């Protein structure tokens, strides 16, 4: 275990965690909502420092990140726990467990992990993903700091449920974020995740105002977050707060964990896609075999500039500066 950051002592052997908006008040011997931050003797500890539950080399498109070094592969790691309780979680076997319920950790020091990433000359960097990396804050912070002065890029795939102070401290060390904006309704967040929407919106705003690259993902669940009016409010908000060039990934839902609702109808995704492209320049469909709506087109002349089929990616219409080869409109900063 390692001493945690961001907490206060609020009573006799009682602490309040300040990492995320839950602000858990944790008694001696107990854990917070994330299941991995524990009060031991009146101090807060992280139980997952240098403990990896899943790792592998993934296409950058799997995060998903479509405008950040397309066609690259990246070392991806995740540990256990999450500060949300989504009934539809795709990775519940690692996200919805505590250290007492998981015994298959791989132990990597921060130095070892960075060296593994550097040993592969074709590897882009390190992605923090699979479960919620924000609750492994101390671990990812140390890895990202160590990677800063190397050639490695760092990526965080997150639910965005983190307080502003720890996010600001982390921002200089994370090159790209994909934030999962699960819905645009407080009712959905309360009912389906046991959390709140507004802190996620705040995190998105903070990232958008930084130098880090930002993309957003929305998993479309039938009858839960697929209301067309609410969805249009969301994409209008994205365009206004983060800019029309922010990539948005609309992902098809399939039954998982505690949810047995049928998979998202393709027509629903197509309808939402058409709504989104009225307001945003780069919208993509995921978990769906649709090469056209997963490829990138120039927002000015509409030439196809990146071809995608599954995780196969070919840059077909961009120069080395990320400009469209047809009209020279700038599209990608990271290529």
Q: For 172, which DSSP code? A: G
Give the chain's length.
335
CA distance 7 to 11: 12
Peptide bond into 64 cis (omega under 30): yes
Alpha helices in 261-312 (DSSP H): 266-276
For 166, the token pair is 């720890």
Burial of 139 (0-12, 13-18, 19+ CB in 10 A): buried
Q: Is 324 annotated as a binding residue?
A: no
For the stretch 184-214, what's the b/e string if a residue is b when 16 or more beta carbons lie within 10 angstroms of its beta carbon? bbeebbeebbebebebbbbbbebbbeeebbb
Residue 24 is assigned to a ligand binding site = no
Q: What does R_g of the chain's alpha carbons equal in angstroms? A: 20
> For residue 278, with 0-12 CB atoms within 10 Å meaning exposed, 13-18 middle and 19 or more buried, which class applies?
exposed
Q: How far apart are the first and last CA of the chain?
A: 39
- The annotation status of 89 as a binding-site residue, yes or no, is yes
Binding site residue list: 82, 86, 89
Binding site residue list for [4Fe-4S] cluster: 82, 86, 89
């Amino acid at each position: 275990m390692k001493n945690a950051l961001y907490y206060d002592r609020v009573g006799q052997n009682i602490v309040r965690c300040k990492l995320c908006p839950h602000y858990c008040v944790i008694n001696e011997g107990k854990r917070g909502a994330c299941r991995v931050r524990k009060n031991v003797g009146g101090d807060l500890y992280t139980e997952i420092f240098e403990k990896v539950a899943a790792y592998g080399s993934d296409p950058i498109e799997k995060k998903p990140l479509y405008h950040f070094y397309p066609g690259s592969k990246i070392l991806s790691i995740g540990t256990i726990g999450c500060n949300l309780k989504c009934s539809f979680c795709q990775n519940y076997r690692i996200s919805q467990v505590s250290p007492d319920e998981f015994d298959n950790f791989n132990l990597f020091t921060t130095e070892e992990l960075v060296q593994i990433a550097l040993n592969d000359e074709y590897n882009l960097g390190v992605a923090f993903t699979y479960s919620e990396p924000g609750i492994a804050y101390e671990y990812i912070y140390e890895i990202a700091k160590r990677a800063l002065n190397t050639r490695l890029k760092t990526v965080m795939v997150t639910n965005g449920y983190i307080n502003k102070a720890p996010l600001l401290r982390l921002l200089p060390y994370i090159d790209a974020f994909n934030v999962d904006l699960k819905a645009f309704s407080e009712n959905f967040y309360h009912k389906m995740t046991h959390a709140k929407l507004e802190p996620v919106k705040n995190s998105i705003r903070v990232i958008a105002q930084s130098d880090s690259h930002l993309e957003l993902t929305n998993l479309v669940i039938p009858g839960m977050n697929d209301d067309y009016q609410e969805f249009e409010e969301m994409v209008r908000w994205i365009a206004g707060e983060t800019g029309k060039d922010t990539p948005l990934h609309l992902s098809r839902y399939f039954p998982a964990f505690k949810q047995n609702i049928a998979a998202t109808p393709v027509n629903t995704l197509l309808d939402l896609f058409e709504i989104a492209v009225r307001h945003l320049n780069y919208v993509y469909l995921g978990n769906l075999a649709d090469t056209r709506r997963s490829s990138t087109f120039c927002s000015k002349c509409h030439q196809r500039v990146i071809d995608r089929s599954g995780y196969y990616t070919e840059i077909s219409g961009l120069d080395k500066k990320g400009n469209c080869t047809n009209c020279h409109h700038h599209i990608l900063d990271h290529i």
